[in-house]
């Protein structure tokens, strides 16, 4: 079992990470300690499993059916726990190998397929908060696996929807996900970066981006680009499943591993104001760590 001092150190590092950030050496120490902690929890579960013996009623004379049921129940619970832990580990491993900042390879594709499903409730919650004049031109930045483009098409069937992403894997997947709409020229997907948007000024009525802004190398420059491509009165909405100040355990883990640059609602508002947006509105969800920010040019 991992000792108390190490657990205390894990907590110290986690607090410091949130408050002021960690040095590279502390990050390495944090990763080593977390790995050791996970190993130790697993070993502990496995050894509990090993000590459980389901008694065979034919083996001994005094058979207690209630005790056997309890042991079987306990054994099944532990097995389920290990199974779900392994499944979570596998998801995390695919995410880390697939690289959400710029999806690559088979794992990148697997991860995007999964995000198409898993981000849907977040995206629906946020897009339900859009009360705007029906848009004719929409841009999805960091379109990933393309599910948000399809979602936007269902909501705004008359619009032409553009998707952009820096990842060739994401471009391929977004096209496949929306192939009929692409053929009808209702959806146009382009490889490129938010830092240099290949569209004319004032072109879009609506710009959205889901789970992407925290990867952008220069957030202010990205916002300036969004401001430029929006028309006057156009709306931007950035959507994320976590923000600085409220995270779920997975984003907390990924923040350290992938260097996510999450911002707090106040920091986001300050950037939007500086770039010139008006009617800036941040919405968070109480029972989740979700948030969106929307504003107008």
E strands, 106-254, in order: 137-141, 160-165, 187-191, 204-210, 230-240
Name which of 81 and 256 has its Cβ closer to ligand SAM.
256
Q: Which residue, 137 or 251, is less far from ligand SAM as judged by CB?
A: 251
Applying CB under 6 A, the residues found at the interface with ligand SAM are 100-103, 115, 119, 141-145, 148, 164-167, 170, 193-195, 210-212, 215-216
Q: How far is the CB of 140 from ligand SAM (least distance, A)?
A: 7
Whole-angstrom CA distances from 119 to 100, 143, 297 are 13, 12, 27
Q: What are phi and psi of 187, to 5 degrees?
A: -130, 135
Q: Of 149 and 182, which has the nearer Cβ to ligand SAM?
A: 149
Nearest-angstrom CA–CA distance, 144 and 99 = 11
- The encoded tokens of residue 234 equal 């156009």
Residue 159 structure tokens: 């619009």
CA dist 103 and 98 (Å) reads 5
Chain residue at closest Cβ approach to ligand SAM: 144
Taking the least distance from each CB to ligand SAM, the nearer of 182 and 208 is 208
- Which of these, 166, 82, 111, 131, lies nearest to 237 by C-alpha position? 131
Question: Which is nearer to ligand SAM, 238 or 295 (by Cβ)?
Answer: 238
CB of 43 to ligand SAM, least distance (A): 33
DSSP state of 193: -
Rounded to 10 deg, the angle between the 4-19 and 24-51 helix axes is 140
C-beta of 213: minimal distance to ligand SAM in Å? 9
For the chain, the C-alpha Rg in angstroms (whole number) is: 24
CB of 34 to ligand SAM, least distance (A): 22
Least separation in angstroms between CB 73 and ligand SAM: 39
Cβ 174 to ligand SAM, closest distance in Å? 9
Can you tell me which residue has the tokens 């894997």? Answer: 169
> In this complex, which beta carbon is closest to ligand SAM, that of residue 157 or of residue 198?
198
């Amino acid at each position: 079992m991992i000792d108390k001092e190490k657990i205390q150190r894990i907590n110290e590092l986690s607090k410091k990470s949130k408050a002021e950030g960690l040095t590279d050496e502390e990050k390495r120490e944090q990763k080593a300690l977390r790995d050791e902690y996970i190993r130790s929890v697993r070993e502990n579960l496995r050894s509990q499993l090993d000590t459980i013996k389901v008694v065979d009623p034919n083996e001994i004379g005094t058979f207690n059916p209630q005790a056997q049921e309890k042991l079987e129940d306990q054994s099944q619970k532990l097995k389920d726990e290990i199974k779900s832990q392994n499944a979570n580990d596998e998801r995390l491993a695919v995410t880390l190998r697939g690289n959400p900042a710029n999806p690559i390879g088979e794992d990148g594709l697997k991860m995007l397929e999964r995000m198409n499903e898993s981000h849907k409730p977040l995206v629906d919650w946020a897009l339900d908060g859009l009360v705007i004049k029906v848009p004719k031109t929409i841009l999805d930045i960091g379109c990933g696996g393309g599910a948000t483009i399809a979602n936007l098409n269902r909501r705004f069937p008359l619009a032409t929807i553009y998707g952009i992403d820096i990842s060739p894997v994401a471009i391929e997947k977004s096209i496949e996900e929306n192939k009929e709409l692409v053929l009808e020229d209702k959806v146009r997907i382009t490889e490129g970066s938010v830092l240099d948007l290949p569209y004319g000024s004032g072109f879009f009525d609506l710009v959205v981006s889901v789970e992407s802004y925290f990867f952008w190398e220069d957030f202010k420059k990205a916002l300036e680009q969004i401001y430029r491509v929006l028309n006057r009165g156009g709306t931007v909405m950035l959507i994320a499943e976590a923000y600085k100040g409220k995270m779920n355990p997975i984003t907390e883990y990924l923040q350290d591993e992938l260097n996510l640059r999450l911002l707090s609602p106040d920091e986001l508002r300050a950037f939007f104001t500086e770039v010139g947006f008006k009617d800036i509105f941040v919405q968070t969800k109480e029972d989740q760590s979700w948030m969106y920010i929307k504003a107008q040019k």
